[in-house]
Structure 1
């Protein structure tokens, strides 16, 4: 790893065939890393040769990604990242960022939620969906052979709203019921929320 070789002063990456403007995932990663970023536009000249173009530089500035409307980027803007953002913003709780490989839900080895929920301060709600409270994490199993691979946060008792970030979709708010209820496998509650 680069950090093993010395201090990392900046991150440089490219945006092939598009402007070198930071995406929400780039902005989040810059904030998380606490160091400047440089994005290089890469394209082709008239002869077809690859050329570097404009460079855009930015640094941590306090950016906070929105909860809703973000494109899915595994490990940066996914369902667990949404849970982390919600808890930090709404409860002032910083949850650990567990390493996760894309496709972990089908490798038969890693189980992101069941292996880590207690380490993050959660416990299973014995009555599950019958006792939902705002802030509860709903674990679901969608197109996975092995275990729960998706999660949402229950945010409103009136209309049963849940926010979630499904693979390949924008983060969004949905009514919790129907399909979502059918694929639910467990409900987790942060320990300090216990009634």
Structure 2
């Protein structure tokens, strides 16, 4: 089985992770490797995510593990899929700054992913809500192209169907001002409404009638802005440093 030159995984921990993964399949399981008094132990955690395709490790479980010792790795399963890291795995591994142990069930293969400075491409990235979605794309565009860090916000699955209004409630706190009705400029953010009661999609205007955005169940892409996307735009906001 594969190992990492940076993080060696004892087989007993892999076995413990696989036991949990088989018990929780077809949902993804998750857990933590914790160093306690010099020994590595596995701590199963709760997955709070809706659906089977991803995981959201319970914050209380992480806090409990931290109270026991040093958290040294994150673990999750890929039921009925290769343990090869997904694009979302690579992004989240960087965000956590910890090695990830990925186990496959039912076969039992596993792989270790370590932080390496990876960045998902702005165009062609797959969709994973809360990790690689339209808001993540806006944040990454501003960080990589404009040099501006935009704060992240918690966004549960289907927040727009559960009384949430993320974009309209948070754009000012993120450093943006309403410029709806003014001539569009490069890096303006377009807040759009798709089959919802509130704006639930957004993209970055790149100039020359082009928008960069990321729709659910598709790859991020550049696309002509006029026509449909202009019709569903409800507000245009501009970072205050660019006003």
In the TM superposition, residue 55 of structure 1 has moved relative to its aligned partner by: 1.6
Q: Secondary structure at the match of 1:8?
A: strand
Tell me which residue corresponds to 1:48.
Answer: none
Q: Unpaired segments of 5 or more residues in structure 1? A: 44-50
Q: RMSD value over aligned CA atoms?
A: 1.2
Residues matched between the structures, number: 180
Q: Secondary structure at the match of 2:241?
A: helix
Runs of 4+ in 1 over 4 A off after TM superposition: none
Q: Unpaired segments of 5 or more residues in structure 2? A: 1-59
Tell me which residue corresponds to 1:142.
Answer: 194
Is the Cα–Cα contact under 8 Å of residues 127 and 216 in structure 2 kept in the other structure? yes
In the TM superposition, residue 22 of structure 1 has moved relative to its aligned partner by: 0.5
Q: Give runs of aligned pairs for residues 71-150 of structure 1, distance below 5 A.
A: 71-108=126-163, 110-128=164-182, 131-144=183-196, 146-150=197-201
Is the Cα–Cα contact under 8 Å of residues 20 and 41 in structure 1 kept in the other structure? yes
Tell me which residue corresponds to 1:4.
Answer: 63
Distance, in Å, in 2 between the alignment partners of 1:152 and 1:126 is 14
Is the Cα–Cα contact under 8 Å of residues 2 and 8 in structure 1 kept in the other structure? no
Distance, in Å, in 2 between the alignment partners of 1:112 and 1:60 is 30
Give the number of the structure whose alpha-carbon radius of gyration is greater. 2
Q: Cα deviation per residue 1:23-52 (whole Å; 9 max; x = unaligned)?
A: 110000000011110111112xxxxxxx5x
